[in-house]
Amino acid sequence: MIIKVPGINGLNKTKGCEKAPNEILNSLKNIYSNESGKIINNLDLEEIHLDNSNLELSNNLIYKNALEIFEEQPKIIFLGGDHSISYSLTKAFLEHCKTLEKKSCLIVFDAHPDLMSPMKEPTHEEWLRKVINKGFPIENILLVGTRNFYKDELKFLKQNKIQIISMNQLLDNLEDSCDIIMEFARGKELYVSIDIDVIDPAFAPGTGYCEPGGLSTREFLYIIQRINKIKNLRAVDIVEINPKKDFNNMTIKLGAKILGELI
């Protein structure tokens, strides 16, 4: 199931990301099959309808809807929106896993750790710290491709010993890094969060915080194709694609390509 979640709370820095789900799905119409040869058609689509002027209501709607969807669907792809939506989604995922008495696992692909001190309704810059505060087990969180940190975030990472696969480690041996990622997820229910800025802005310029030195499109597609083979992959979100900041629809097309590989 594909769920559109057009939520934004980026302090006016992510305005435009709410348009990404429809743009990605429109672009997906031009991808007739993924690279494994699976035909892309008859998609099961839903939307969580949000009022971005009421953040508390939006977060509650995302949480409640996601909790119901996790109970009904074996695998879900959420299309954002900015990264603030991942707070309510992963909070619901954590609650769902507790109900099943299963271990929850969160792997985040992002140029930034998103670990600033959280606001009441977390933005895209501190959603991960907020969900940690809500009880997501730190030992089951893995950051991948992170390459720009605030001082406070570095302190929090070191104090809590959050695991990171750096960009240099990724590129040193991509296959081995994927093996590490897959081993990390073994025996747990897996949620994967994809901030498009993990990819180099040369390939994905349509995002709010472009960070040089990211992955290439081909490298990231290889990683996603490996992750999609994990049997306990339960959910993926794709966030921070901003059509207003895109160039020649490069980032929208990439979002559609990633989505196609996950189907």
pLDDT digits (tens, 9 = 90+) for 45-81: 999 999 999 999 999 999 999 999 999 999 999 999 9
For 207, the domain range is: 2-262
Helix (H) or strand (E) holding 145: none
Helix (H) or strand (E) holding 162: none
CA-closest candidate to residue 145, choices 113, 179, 102: 113
- Write phi, then psi, for 256 (nearest 5 degrees): -65, -40
What pLDDT, on a 0 to 100 scale, did the predictor assign at position 12? Answer: 83
What is the Cα–Cα distance from 43 to 97, expressed in whole angstroms?
26
30-52 pLDDT tens trace: 999 999 999 998 899 999 999 99
Q: Are 7 and 51 spatial neighbours (Cβ–Cβ below 8 Å)?
A: no
Give the torsion sign (CA, 235, 228, 110, 186): positive
* DSSP secondary structure letter of residue 119: P
Domain of residue 186, CATH code: 3.40.800.10
What pLDDT, on a 0 to 100 scale, did the predictor assign at position 34? Answer: 94
Q: Which residues pair with 163 in a beta bridge?
A: 142
* DSSP secondary structure letter of residue 239: E
On whether the pTM is more than 0.95, the answer is yes
Q: Are 195 and 36 spatial neighbours (Cβ–Cβ below 8 Å)?
A: no
Domain count, the chain: 1
What pLDDT, on a 0 to 100 scale, did the predictor assign at position 66? Answer: 98
CB within 8 A of 136, min separation 6: which ones? 90, 91, 94, 104, 106
Structure-block tokens of residue 53: 């002027």
What is the Cα–Cα distance from 255 to 83, expressed in whole angstroms?
15
Regions in the chain scoring below 70 on pLDDT: none
What is the Cα–Cα distance from 23 to 75, expressed in whole angstroms?
22
Give the torsion sign (CA, 180, 214, 158, 191): negative
What pLDDT, on a 0 to 100 scale, did the predictor assign at position 10? Answer: 80
Structure-block tokens of residue 168: 């240099």
